[in-house]
Structure 1
């Protein structure tokens, strides 16, 4: 794997993240995308420098891909850290022929998780599930109702379930978070439980 390909991959993931953020406002997923991308890049580069069978490579990726299925429920940041830890272990454990390459790949994984999980990236949005005590099918009305309930502007409302029989709507809300907003959300969550 050449440095040109590594640079191209990093540029591509940066564009993907920029597109995703501009459309979905889920800054908490930045660390997951960076961790998974750079982790897979590092493991693939490590596997390409040694004489390993295709079956070994596919088996390793299969094990890595079931993290979410085999573990307790983790948030996206935790999944990224978990994946990065696995990638680091694999890079160190599979005996990459050039130690300098292995160390550089490990550093790349660590830098990616550091950058993706930095407070400047992830602190600006808050994501929470909310059970609204009304069945609201109109998106604009639902968004206005959720903003009224929370007391601040939301960037995205995703309907997970509308129950017309029990007159409830389950939504996932993403909002920009400053200190006052986080305090309001925490207070709302305590009152609602």
Structure 2
């Protein structure tokens, strides 16, 4: 967890709040799961535990996809390390696999030429839904980058606004 959160995530993104939250959540989950794995624990109780965790996600601010991946990685490491009866060598191998995958997949050199952004247009283009290729070319022209794809998040005809996720290739 220390390598994943502080060695990779924090060094790359400098998000102190999420790094601290993920580290604490990992520690707490490890403690709870270690206790639960040493006693008789039913499947129903496990589903109840996940239901409680789901309530936390419903009551908290949204975090982006990348942050949730690191957060889940911290939880996964806690689960992997807390299962009783698993050999230490196997736990170390699986944890090393998780860390290596996170390091490689989120390395700054991987996918460095593509990025995404959410934009709000102050006018809904007439071809926003009817001609996706024309819309893609129009977005490329407006933004000055090669738009690979886009996703319309919302159209507000009352205020004439369009919210769009744009995925583009950097020059």
Q: 2: distance between equivalents of 1:78 and 1:98?
A: 30
Report Cα offsets for 1:45-86 as digits up to 9, x if no partner: xxxxxx864345545655666675354322211111111111
Q: 2: distance between equivalents of 1:69 and 1:96?
A: 34
Stretches of structure 1 that go unaligned for 5 or more consecutive residues are 1-50, 179-193
Task: Name the counterpart of 2:110.
Answer: 121
Task: Name the counterpart of 1:111.
Answer: 100
Task: Name the counterpart of 1:174.
Answer: 167
Stretches of structure 2 that go unaligned for 5 or more consecutive residues are 1-39
Count of matched residue positions in the alignment of Structure 1 and Structure 2: 131
Q: Would you identify which runs of 4 or more consecutive aligned residues in structure 1 move more than 4 Å?
A: 59-68
* TM-score normalised per structure 1: 0.56
Q: 2: distance between equivalents of 1:87 and 1:98?
A: 17
Task: Name the counterpart of 1:157.
Answer: 150
Cα contact 2:145–2:170 (8 A) shared by 1: no
Task: Name the counterpart of 1:134.
Answer: 123
Report Cα offsets for 1:116-143 as digits up to 9, x if no partner: 2112324222111111122114233432
Q: 2: distance between equivalents of 1:144 and 1:106?
A: 44
Tell me the SS of whatever aligns to 1:105.
helix
* Higher helix content, 1 or 2: 1
